[in-house]
Amino acid sequence: MKTVYKWLISTAVVFGLSACDEVQTPDIDEMLTSDESADNAGDALQISDIKFSDDNKEMYLSARLLHDIGDYDIMDSTHVVIKPHQQIQMLPGKFGDEIQPVITKIKNPSREVLKNMDLKLLIMVDLSLPQHQVDAELHAVRDINTLLGQQGVYIAFMQGENVSETYEASDYVIDHYFVHHDPSYTYLYRSILTKLDEFMDPQTTIGNAHRKVLVVMSGGKTYENDLPVDPQHFAIQQQLTNKTTELKNKLCAYYVNFSANTQSDNDLMALTEDTDDSNIMQFFCKDLGGIYQPTFNWQEMETDMMSDFNIDPAKYEITLENPDGKIYRGTLHKLEIGLYDKKTNDLVAKGTTTFTLGTIYNPVIIHDETMIQIITGGIVLLIIVFLLAWLILQFIEPFIRYQLFKRKHVISYSGSKMSVNGLEVAESCYLCKAPFETGDEIVVKCKHTMHKACWDENEYHCPEHGRHCKEGSHYYNKHNLLDGSNPLYLMKWVLVAIISAFVAWCVFINQDYAQSKSLIQSIHSFYHELTSTTDEKGSLSFVYGSYLSDLPAFGQTVGFMITFFLSFFTVRRRKWLLRLSEMVLRAFLAGLAGCLSCLFGCMVAVILHIETNTFLIDWIPWLLLSIVIMLAVTIKTRTPIRRTFFVASCSIALLSMLMWGFIFFNNTLNYRLSLLIGFIVYAVAIAICIARETPRSERYFLHVEGAIKEMDIALYKWLRNETDRVVTIGKSVDCSIQLSWDINGKAAPVQAEIKKYKNSLRLTALEEGVIVNNKPLEPGKETWLYHGKKFTIGNTTFTYIEKDIS
Ligand SMILES: [Zn+2]
Ligand SMILES: [Zn+2]
């Protein structure tokens, strides 16, 4: 008995110490890698949103480039590598590597949106500029073309007094039309006005678009020798101004001064701006929601266009794929997306986000097995564990015990005056009375030395085995190894506990945790309502909620199932329906109390602000749960409630916690099957603790006091082999126990009878006059006999005594 506890406690302590050791000395290297690197690339990428597909296989990230990363383009897979790095939080602030997801897709939705947008963009190109500037215009057109992929881009050429018709920006046009022409001036305003009219006419190619953009590329020269180039300059300028007002919000315009490109000198630039009408064009662009560019800057223009269209060009959508079988247990995960130069492997940009998924008791497993596969796996494991336990308890353990018994207590007789452990060995067999001969195999387990053959014949115990000879027994039927008395009485408890764990496991993994979840969340928010006013409530609630939400369901299921199955041994009722009802009632109460104990554990976690690694305090609900189960199984039964239950519960809880921790951090284990093993260990440990305290009436006596000398009547001798036999008590000579000594007492010929039912005895009154607990037991009524129970017939008091076999 004590050795089991000692073993449990010492194992728990050893495990505990080794676990603590691990916890207190974190790997320095790992600590360093978890630190944020301080380089500029660190915050270039902002990951704002993380979403999961329904099966959690795919993760969708919304990432945004916060600042320029030079020539690198996220979409350019020939120069850039994007790598995910996912880590799991082991302890607050400490992250460890885990199985990595794979990036399957990177998308820049802005380009998609633009392509799908009904957009027409007209570029007006000034061919009156010198050829090198026309070439510069050509480059700019090519840049703009990348945005829409030619679709929706149009070109018109300005030259002299004319503006050309509107061409599609085809490769042919781009390759052949960008040639300087004389004269070297343009009627800029007039040309723009013409095209604006075209934009407003829904009959034209560019007029029927939903969104319209005009980009004017020109030298901007509207004056020649202080005289306007266009004779109608002022009238046209006025028209243009009017038109601009009219077109507000209908068109977006940009102007790029290409003559300024070549004039690096500031004075010249100022001069140019003075002599041309850059002011007019600046107002023009400003009014039409575009920009005036003294030099071409595509990035600036693109960004401005995108923001006009409410598109974020720096936003990317990254799709990652989780490997099958990956487990998320509600712990904090850190996902870092790093952009690396393909050649040098230098970090260009990175972004980090954190998330949680699943819960510790109900994890998310990527592409998990189907429920049928899981249950099948569980059944296979159950059969293996069950058979293993049965083999060990039925054959191996009794065999080993028998070998130890033989080595210690079976010796060869070596002649008279032989002594064992300082005691002289008798010279003849206690049972058959024949004198021992040298070489005889004798049993010296008690002072009643016997032939081994006589011992076996007498059912493996000495004839005096009972109240006055406690040692004289060691049951081992080697002729029939299936003999139910060979294994320890614990066997049936262990086997039933294994089954109860399996059933609890099946129910638990099939459960819907919604109620449990909302309960925890409301407790959490209620608590924080009382204690804090900060807005961290929401996020914290999520963390705790996802972490602890399944705990009450766990307590309820485990409490109910283990109690139901184990109370099969403690609940004694003759009618099976009554017995079943009582078992269900006990189980129900245990489920309720189990749920409450787990809730209590959750509250402790919330109050102590334990956000991660709640398994470290999980021993509290487990401890309470095991106590609840032990009480529910034993209360108001023959099994006394012992203080050892509490000690044992502590050990069980610690042991389970350590096992849980092991499962938790081990990614290679099959999570659900490990969980089943965890359930089994828990249930078996509880079963053994209760079984230890449950009386095993293999040696039961009636202690008689009254008109005769006190004595013990060995009831078990009547009932040991003939279980259906009835022991009768009365004055008649036919009674098993004849009250011949009680001459004056009032006793009927057959007053009462004792029957064996399973492993317990029942006393039934047949006539009036049987007093139990100072109350008369009515004829026909019966009562269970348990250790220490007294009843009186006439002047004789009987005490029922059970003596366990040691
Ligand atoms: Zn003998
Ligand atoms: Zn004996």
Three-class SS of 394-450 = HHHHHHHHHHHHHHHHEEECCCCCCEECCEECCCECCCCCCECCCCCEEECCCCCCE
Q: Residue 523 is encoded by which pair of tokens?
A: 């407790």
CA-wise closest residue to 630 among 615, 644, 618: 644
Closest ligand to the CA of 460? 2
Q: How far apart are CA 409 and CA 425, in angstroms?
A: 12
In what helix (H) or strand (E) does residue 787 lie, and over which residues does it extend? none
Which of the four pLDDT bands, split at 50, 70 and 90, describes residue 245? confident
* Pair 61, 70: CB distance under 8 Å: no
Is 50 exceeded by the pLDDT of residue 19? no
CB 321, CB 102: distance < 8 Å: yes
**Model confidence at 561: pLDDT above 80:** yes
End-to-end CA distance of the chain: 10
Which of 653 and 3 is assigned the larger pLDDT? Answer: 653
**Domains, the chain, ranges and CATH?**
2-9+40-108+315-357 (2.60.40), 112-308 (3.40.50.410), 413-480 (3.30.40), 512-693 (no CATH), 700-802 (2.60.200.20)
Q: How far is the CA of 454 from the centre of ligand 2 (A)?
A: 13
Rounded distance between C-alpha atoms, residue 387 and residue 367, angstroms = 31
Q: State in Å: Cα 403 to ligand 1 middle.
A: 21
Question: How would residue 567 be classed by pLDDT, with cut points 50, 70 and 90?
Answer: very high
Report how far ligand 2's centroid is from the alpha carbon of 757 (Å).
28
What does the pLDDT average to over 385-410? 95
Mean pLDDT for the stretch of residues 196-201:
87
What whole-number distance in Å separates Cα of residue 589 and Cα of residue 630? Answer: 12
Does the pLDDT of residue 25 top 50, yes or no?
A: no
Give me the pLDDT at residue 547, please: 58
pLDDT attached to residue 188: 85
Q: What's the CA-to-centroid distance between 800 and ligand 2, angstroms?
A: 22
Q: Which ligand is nearest to the CA of 430?
A: 1
pLDDT more than 70, % of the chain: 85
The model's pLDDT over 469-490, given as tens digits with 9 standing for 90+, comes to 778 888 898 888 888 778 888 8
Phi–psi pair at 323, nearest 5 degrees: -70, 150
pLDDT-derived band at 780, boundaries 50, 70, 90: confident
> Which pLDDT belongs to residue 532?
59
Taking the centre of ligand 2 as the mean of its atom positions, its distance from the CA of residue 677, in whole angstroms, is 43
Q: What spacing in Å lies between the alpha carbon of 466 and ligand 2's midpoint?
A: 8
444 C-alpha to center of ligand 2: Å?
9
Q: Could you say which ligand is closest to the alpha carbon of residue 448?
A: 2
Ligand nearest to the CA of 454: 1
CA of 712 to the centre of ligand 1 (A): 26
Q: Closest by alpha carbon to 85, among 64, 106, 103, 58?
A: 103
Q: How far is the CA of 409 from the centre of ligand 2 (A)?
A: 12
The most confident of 18-22, 383-387, 541-545, by mean pLDDT: 383-387
Of the listed ligands, the closest to the CA of 453 is 1
Calculate how far, in angstroms, residue 350's C-alpha sits from the geometric centre of ligand 2: 82
Instruction: List pLDDT tens digits, range 491-528.
Output: 999 999 999 999 999 998 887 767 777 777 777 777 77
Of 73, 66, 59, 44, nearest to 103 (Cα)? 59
Query: In this structure, which ligand is nearest to the CA of 409?
Result: 2
Q: Confidence band (pLDDT; 50, 70, 90) for 38?
A: very low
Task: Please tell me the predicted confidence (pLDDT) of residue 545.
Answer: 47
Percent of residues, the chain, with pLDDT higher than 90: 21
Quick one: tokens of 131?
A: 């050829």
Q: Beta 790-793 vs 410-412: how paired, if at all?
A: unpaired
Ligand 1 geometric centre to CA of 4 (Å): 37
| Maximum CA extent, the chain | 154
**Cα(722) to centroid(ligand 1), Å:** 25
Alpha carbon of 592 to ligand 2 centroid (Å): 49
> Does 97 have pLDDT greater than 70?
yes
Collapsed DSSP state (helix, strand, coil) of residue 172: helix
The ligand minimizing its distance to the Cα of 462 is 2
Tokens 């050309």 belong to residue? 164
**Nearest listed ligand to the Cα of residue 431:** 1
Q: Strand pairing of 726-730 and 711-714?
A: unpaired
pLDDT tens-digit map of 156-182: 998 888 888 899 888 888 888 888 887
| Residue 727 in this model has a pLDDT that exceeds 70 | yes
Nearest ligand, CA of residue 455?
1
pLDDT in the model for residue 24: 37
CA–centroid distance, 737 to ligand 2, in Å, is 24
Which range scores top for mean pLDDT: 581-590, 602-611, 641-650, 694-703? 581-590
Distance CA 79, CA 83 (A): 13
Of residues 80 and 531, the one with the higher pLDDT is: 80
733-743 pLDDT, tens digit each:
888 888 888 77
Nearest ligand to the CA atom of 451: 1
Q: Which two tokens stand for residue 135?
A: 């070439």
* Phi, psi (degrees; rounded to nearest 5) at 623: -60, -50
Ligand nearest to the CA of 449: 2
The 10s digit of each residue's pLDDT in 213-236 is 999 998 877 777 677 777 788 888
| Kind of pairing between the strands at 292-293 and 252-257 | parallel
> Which ligand is the nearest neighbour of the Cα of 469?
2
Name the pLDDT band for 562 (thresholds 50, 70, 90).
very high
Q: What residues pack around ion ligand 1 (CB closer than 5 A)? A: 429, 431-432, 451, 454
**How does the average pLDDT of the chain come out, rounded?**
81
Containing 90, the helix (H) or strand (E) segment is strand 80-91
Ligand nearest to the CA of 436: 1
Does residue 20 surpass a pLDDT of 60?
Answer: no
Chain-centroid distance of CA 476 in Å reads 47
| CA 526, chain centre distance (Å) | 24
Contacts of residue 478, defined as CB under 8 A and 6 or more positions apart, other chains included, come to 402
CA 395 to chain centre: 39
Compute the distance between CA of residue 34 and CA of residue 98 in angstroms, rounded to an integer.
Answer: 13
